[in-house]
């Protein structure tokens, strides 16, 4: 009897050891992938798959690495294998690699089909929506792409790339772009993209205001903004009134009482006017930017948190006043992030 039990135990022990060894290989492979050493990562994933055939994590990581190496045909085949051998397990990232590889092959229709197949199974996975949005842009379906990015932002309000995409696609819509870029800067204020978002916010906030040679101020408000501001019927994402208020607030940059203020201090004045206008005109408004993003900034203003927000947003500039504020006001910045992290997104 002892021999009988021993014969059963040895294969079980060997299988368990193989799985553990495969897991170690996968972790090592991920570390290589993160360093951009894709060939070394692939070798380790293949070793893991020898130890534990069709290990889902190894297949998923291998598909992702093959995609990074632009070996799209192989990434697609690995993705198909994972889907066929693990139909009841978590395949979210497999669908992302599968569809992304098709999109890279200039097959947007096929890619969108796979994204939709994945979204049927995982309707709450933000990454599928975000990458679907990229594919839709490549297909020149901008409005549908915007909806995809809006959904990914709602599902994960900390996904910086979703807000970066929303800001970029709304450059011709002042307030939505400012709100999206401002949220981006609270997630990432150190990268090159952060600097681009800050520059865009500053440019949009000063749009329509200029100073003439005689020092008089010229305000330019386009007819469409005036029409929206005076519209009696509510339409989606109508920020006409707030747009006008912001333009008038920007003119205060040239007021004598503000001439000695820093760029951040002037920004705070304008952003406070923007938030106050949002609060005053929010009743009955509808649309993603009104219903999802505006309440966040309205509450920020009500909580008297615009000052730390502004200095966080201006971190990419690294001017002396910004650096000093961060050195002297660590608690204010901590309090801001505590509020932001606990904010309940609508």
pLDDT mean for each 10 residues of the chain (346 residues): 42 61 91 95 93 94 96 97 96 97 95 98 98 95 97 98 98 96 98 97 89 72 74 85 93 87 96 98 96 98 98 97 98 98 96
Structure tokens at 101: 């590889």
What pLDDT does residue 9 have?
Answer: 44
Rounded to 5°, the CA angle 123-124-127 comes to 100
What is the pLDDT, as a whole number, of residue 219?
72
Burial classification of residue 343, based on how many CB atoms lie within 10 Å of its CB (0-12 exposed, 13-18 middle, 19 or more buried) = middle
pLDDT value for 190: 96
Give the per-residue pLDDT at 224. Answer: 77
185 contact partners, CB below 8 Å, separation of at least 6: 194, 197, 198, 201, 312, 313, 315, 316
Residue 16: the pLDDT is 63
- What span, in angstroms and rounded, lies between the C-alpha atoms of 295 and 198? 21
Q: Give the pLDDT confidence score for residue 123 in this predicted structure.
A: 97
* Per-residue pLDDT at 311: 98
pTM over 0.75: yes
Q: So where are the chain's domains? A: 174-346
Encoding tokens for residue 343? 């904010």
Helix (H), strand (E) at residue 80: helix 72-85
Closest to 190 measured CA to CA, from 36, 323, 316, 294: 316
């Amino acid at each position: 009897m002892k021999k009988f039990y021993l014969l059963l135990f040895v294969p079980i022990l060997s299988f368990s050891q193989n799985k553990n060894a495969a897991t170690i290989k996968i972790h090592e492979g991920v570390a290589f992938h993160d360093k951009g050493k894709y060939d070394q990562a692939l070798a380790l994933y293949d070793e893991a798959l020898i130890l534990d055939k069709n290990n889902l994590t190894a297949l998923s990581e291998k598909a992702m690495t093959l995609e990074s190496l632009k070996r799209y045909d192989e990434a697609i085949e690995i993705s198909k294998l994972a889907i066929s051998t693990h139909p009841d397990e978590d395949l979210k990232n497999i669908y992302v690699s599968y569809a992304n590889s098709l999109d890279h092959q200039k097959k947007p229709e096929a890619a969108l089909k796979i994204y939709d197949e994945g979204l049927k199974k995982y309707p709450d996975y933000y990454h599928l929506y975000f990458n679907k949005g990229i594919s839709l842009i490549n297909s020149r379906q901008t409005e549908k792409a915007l909806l995809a990015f809006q959904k990914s932002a709602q599902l994960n309000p900390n996904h910086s790339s979703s807000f970066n995409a929303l800001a970029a696609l709304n450059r011709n819509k002042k307030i939505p772009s400012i709100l999206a870029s401002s949220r981006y800067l609270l997630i990432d204020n150190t990268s090159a993209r952060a600097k681009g978002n800050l520059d865009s916010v500053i440019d949009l906030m000063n749009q329509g205001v200029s100073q003439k040679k005689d020092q008089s101020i010229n305000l330019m408000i386009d007819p469409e903004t005036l029409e929206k501001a005076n519209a009696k019927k509510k339409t989606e994402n109508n920020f006409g009134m707030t747009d006008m208020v912001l333009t008038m607030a920007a003119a205060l940059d040239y007021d004598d009482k503000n001439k000695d203020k820093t760029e951040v201090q002037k920004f705070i004045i304008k952003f406070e006017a923007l938030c106050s206008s949002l609060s005053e005109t929010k009743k009955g408004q509808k649309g993603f930017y009104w219903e999802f993003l505006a309440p966040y900034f309205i509450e920020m203003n009500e909580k008297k948190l615009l000052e730390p927000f502004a200095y966080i947003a201006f971190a990419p500039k690294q001017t002396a006043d910004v650096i000093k504020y961060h050195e002297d006001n660590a608690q204010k910045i901590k309090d801001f992030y505590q509020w932001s992290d606990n904010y309940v997104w609508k």
